[in-house]
Copies of this chain bind each other. A is one copy, B any other.
Amino acid sequence: MTNLVEGISGSRRDPWWDTYSQRAHNLRQSEVRSLFSVVSRPEVVSLAGGMPNIKDLPLDALADTVADLIREHGAQALQYGQGRGWDPLRQDICQIMALEGIRGDFENVVVTTGSQQAVDLITQIFVNPGDVILCEAPSYLGSLGIFQSYQADIRHVPMDQEGLLPDALEKAILKARADGKSIKFLYTIPNFHNPAGVTQSLERRRAIVDLCERHHVLILEDNPYGLLGFESEPLPALQSFNPDGVVYLGSFSKMFAPGYRIGWALAPHAIRDKLVLANESAILSPSMMGQMVLNAYIRDFDWFGQVKQYRGMYKERRDAMLESLERYLPVCSWTVPAGGFYTWVKLPEGLDAKDMLPRAVTGLVAYVSGTAFYADGQGRDHLRLSYCFPPPDEIREGVRRLSVVVNREKELVDLFSLPTNNAVPQVKNINNAHPLKSGN
């Protein structure tokens, strides 16, 4: 469990060191955060971060809308709200979710401080230390960090090009139960997976939902990127197949912008009740201002037109990424995302993404090592490249720089027929049995 994250600071020179909770010792700095100061240097091309590119938002019109809102409804927007969220926005959220086949009651929507907080609250209300959470291999590092902080037993389940493998999922469920463990939920990102870049097929969705229903395993469906598909309109959400067995998480961060920190959970009624209590306990109420601005944005703007603009802009960047990979990095293989922000790149045999990172940064390009996306030390043979934030020319230059580093590492490995750092054992890639289809 040590490869996901860097060690936490703290020592016996801290007078309060002996008084921290178990959970505090499980909080770790993510690899992405550790990189932050380096990759924000302007000379570095960062293919590491997941910041959406929001510069094409209609800022002038938005400024007018928000100003009107403050003038006319400021006393409401600046006040406390209710822990469950503001009803008009909860209704808007239901309309947005309908695009993915969800027929939800707005009463079952809980508004949160970004969907990250929804992951935190769901983990809080389900997970005791040692309980099992099933996750894809690899999985979103922010959620893995939360699961670790609650001392969950995280078990990765392999995927292929169509997402999570049902057979492997069933095997993991049976194994956990044979171990006498309580499985609290399956955490899955069905669309444009972070970091794997793959999307569950319709058939796969049905199989996963059926399997979980049969084994009475709750599904936590995390869907921040669902509307950002490049090839087609969204597939139905897992939630639409079994509303009683799925908690669905959505976010305005990618379809609009992250700056108001507004996300949501749609949950079966009884779970919804607990989520509201947990939300009230944690923050009293989500920001009324943020909720009212988003409601006005949904009402007054062509928000779906904005989503389409995003799709086109990110598609162009994805294409730049894939073309550059073909051109500069034929020694690697990668996934071909049909939407979202990321591709998942497999390094040539013997290269180590984590060890290589400092040399990449010296070469003025940054990525996230695959190790960040596993709780169990896997991932050294992979890295995540994001194409969401840099413009296409920077993406091309970034991949070119990366290729210089990779090719140099590969030469060394080939020369010595050894891993570049033989202190690091090569871990087994459990994806090998069902390799993610290569884009190369």
Contacts and interface: CB of A to CB of B under 8 A. Distances in A.
Interface string A141-169: 01001100100000000000000000000
A142 B281 CA distance: 7
A27 B124 CA distance: 10
Interface stretch (A57-65, A194-202, A407-415, A423-431): A57-65
Given A184-B19, A283-B116, A288 B274 contact: no
A258 B261 CA distance: 15
A20 interface: yes
A10 B278 CA distance: 14
Given A20-B126, A270-B9, A261 B277 contact: no
Given A17-B270, A62-B74, A270-B16, A282 B79 contact: no
A133 to B, nearest CB: 12
Given A24-B125, A282-B282, A287 B261 contact: yes
A417 interface: no
A369 interface: no
A273 B28 CA distance: 10
Interface string A264-288: 0000101101100110111111111
Nearest to A29: B277
Given A63-B70, A63-B71, A259-B287, A281 B51 contact: no
B126 A258 contact: no
Contact of A282 (B11, B20, B117, B253): B117
B117 A283 contact: yes
B66 A59 contact: no
Nearest to A256: B78
A1 interface: no
B27 A278 contact: yes
